[in-house]
Structure 1
Amino acid sequence: MLAAASLASGLTACGEREKPVRLEGGVFTERKPADRARGEALAAEGMGLLQSADSLRIVVEMERGPAAGGTRRSQEVGLHLDRDGNCAGTFDAGNGQRGDLIMVAGGATYVRFTEDSLEAMRTMARARGPQALATVEERIALVRGKYMKLPAGAGGRGGRAVPGAQCDLDTMLRELDGGEDTFDGQVRAEAATYRYGKHVIPLVDPNPVGGEANAMYVAAEGKPYITALVMNEDGRRMTMHMSDYGKPVEAHAPPAAQTVDASELGGPAGADLFEV
């Protein structure tokens, strides 16, 4: 999901806690610091719990650019998804790209834009001239307050029906597992604290290179389920919040009276979904 492929794969291959070191006259065991050994064990267990989850609620927040001058851009997607391709949630990718999303396993995808998104589309179309405005006004009249129905395959199982939305848990976890080594298999456990309203143990990069350290947060009580991942790289910050491990996904097709087929918008189904 989003740039999730670069987040935590290094944590699934944490190194050994002890490493034999040979010196002249014998061998002794070099032990890792206790906080490193504990951090890597918790990280490995947390990633194991994540990879074995049948369903998951995930909220991804992306921020890019400098905060000064109001030029920082943000994006957020919140989804409850499972391994069967069921998915439900919300997305916010900026002007004209905010709304609700439902994907039903083996069926269609449904997208409903917020009122402010429709107004943003109208504003952009107005800047392009009367013809563009007339076209967009027709679309707005069709979709206001309704879900647009994309046929099965338009978004595709594992595909992105909206900007940044990965609606298949299998695919998302494969991407997580196949990314770059964010922590190089090394993390350090800090004292339990509260982050994002939860009691957690922070697991941080022991050797950060400039800026704020990347971090994983695992539950401080019970099993160490991952509750959040934080990544900082090249002026971009991404935070993934995880919850509702194993909770069934409620993804049902809206009533026909509340849907409009995407083909009625003109062009290939869904092709003009986010275009003005």
Structure 2
Amino acid sequence: MRLAWRAAGLTLLTAGLLVSCADGRPAERLGERGGGVSSHGKAVTAGTELATESLRLFQEATSVRLTTAQGVEKTSLLMDREGNCSGTYDGGPMRRAELIVVAGEGAAGSGEGAVYIRYTAQALTEVLTEARRRGPATELRVKPRVDKIRGKYLKMPDPDGAFTSQCNLAVGQKSLPFEAKGLSAGKPTERRGVRVIPLTSKDGPRAALYVAASGPPHLRFATLASGEELQFSSYGKPVTAEAPPAHLVVTLEELGAGTGAGLGGGLLDA
């Protein structure tokens, strides 16, 4: 199950590798920016100001959607500062699901958070295919589990807040470093249909930030030197993370499955 929350931790990773925040004059917030940058000095000044303002907006956001893609793994989670999040995870065969993480008081109080996982139809088909490949005994054990969970949510308790802490925007916001020197602002461009201004470091364009070219300069994309990309969107959008109706929830005990192998694999556990 740990893989399902890996993307939330990438917020911290990106912040540590790419971005920073220093005292400086806020960038212009209306109209499109960046077109007049013509010299290296001006580009660095503009880049520092835009990075400063974009990170301030990120730190103040009540919610943000983080979308990542690395290899076969694709994650899109809308998370808030309380540890609630909802979205989707696609880790390849057998590991495709809708996720809802509901924050609780955890170890700090009497409330208990929980994570709800609803496998996609494709994932369940892949689980059955793998069960058949392993032999009749495995298929006989796994098919009833798949029938029970199809269209429903598997509930996993989170009494100590382990899941919600990884789905907490506030954790990423508090972990940002506070320095923004050396980022150069480029000319406005379009990335995945969004008008943005690239902010590149001395490491080159593969490690860069992209902030909105018009309106508030929200951080919209970040790329790592490895080629991995993170997308940020839906600033301030309320997170709908509520426990599903009881008749749509199946517990681990009811399912009779293990959890050690993660999404999909747990259904195959003895």
TM-score by structure 2 length? 0.77
The 5 A counterparts of 1:112-127 are 112-127=118-133
Matches of 2:156 and 2:173, distance apart in 1: 25
> Taking structure 1 as reference, are residues 105 and 263 closer, same or farther at Cα in structure 2, changes over 3 Å only?
same
Counterpart amino acid of 1:127? Answer: R
Contact in 1 for aligned 2:115/2:163 (Cα 8 Å)? no
1:257 aligns with 2:247: yes
Q: Which residue of 2 aligns with 1:196?
A: 192
- Match of 1:138, SS? helix
Q: Which residue of 1 aligns with 2:78?
A: 80
Q: Which residue of 2 aligns with 1:225?
A: 218
The Cα shift of 1:32 comes to: 6.7
- Match of 1:245, SS? coil
Counterpart amino acid of 1:6? Answer: L
Counterpart amino acid of 1:55? Answer: S
Matches of 1:184 and 1:129, distance apart in 2: 57
Matches of 2:181 and 2:255, distance apart in 1: 49
The Cα shift of 1:174 comes to: 4.7
Matches of 1:231 and 1:193, distance apart in 2: 18
> Taking structure 1 as reference, are residues 41 and 82 closer, same or farther at Cα in structure 2, changes over 3 Å only?
same
Task: Among all aligned residue pairs of Structure 1 and Structure 2, give the percentage whose two residues are the same amino acid.
Answer: 34
Matches of 2:162 and 2:9, distance apart in 1: 16
1:187 aligns with 2:183: yes
> Taking structure 1 as reference, are residues 265 and 154 closer, same or farther at Cα in structure 2, changes over 3 Å only?
farther
Counterpart amino acid of 2:12? Answer: A
The Cα shift of 1:145 comes to: 0.8
Matches of 2:62 and 2:173, distance apart in 1: 11
Contact in 1 for aligned 2:101/2:164 (Cα 8 Å)? no
Matches of 1:81 and 1:122, distance apart in 2: 32
Matches of 2:261 and 2:214, distance apart in 1: 47
1:8 aligns with 2:35: no
Matches of 2:251 and 2:66, distance apart in 1: 28
The Cα shift of 1:115 comes to: 0.9
The 5 A counterparts of 1:124-163 are 124-153=130-159, 156-159=162-165
> Taking structure 1 as reference, are residues 272 and 207 closer, same or farther at Cα in structure 2, changes over 3 Å only?
closer
The Cα shift of 1:94 comes to: 0.7
> Taking structure 1 as reference, are residues 172 and 92 closer, same or farther at Cα in structure 2, changes over 3 Å only?
farther
The 5 A counterparts of 1:206-221 are 206-208=202-204, 213-221=206-214
- Match of 2:82, SS? coil
The Cα shift of 1:6 comes to: 2.8
- What is the alpha-carbon root mean square deviation over aligned residues? 2.8
- Match of 2:124, SS? helix
The Cα shift of 1:213 comes to: 2.0
Residues 200-256 of structure 1, C-alpha deviation per residue, up to 9 Å, x if partnerless? 111112343xxx6212111112221101111132xxx32111112122111122111
- Match of 1:46, SS? helix
> Taking structure 1 as reference, are residues 267 and 194 closer, same or farther at Cα in structure 2, changes over 3 Å only?
closer
Contact in 2 for aligned 1:56/1:247 (Cα 8 Å)? yes
**Which of the pair has more CA radius of gyration?**
1
Query: Between Structure 1 and Structure 2, which shows a larger proportion of helix residues?
Result: 2
Q: Which residue of 2 aligns with 1:244?
A: 234
Q: Which residue of 2 aligns with 1:23?
A: none
Q: Which residue of 1 aligns with 2:28?
A: none
Matches of 2:87 and 2:13, distance apart in 1: 23
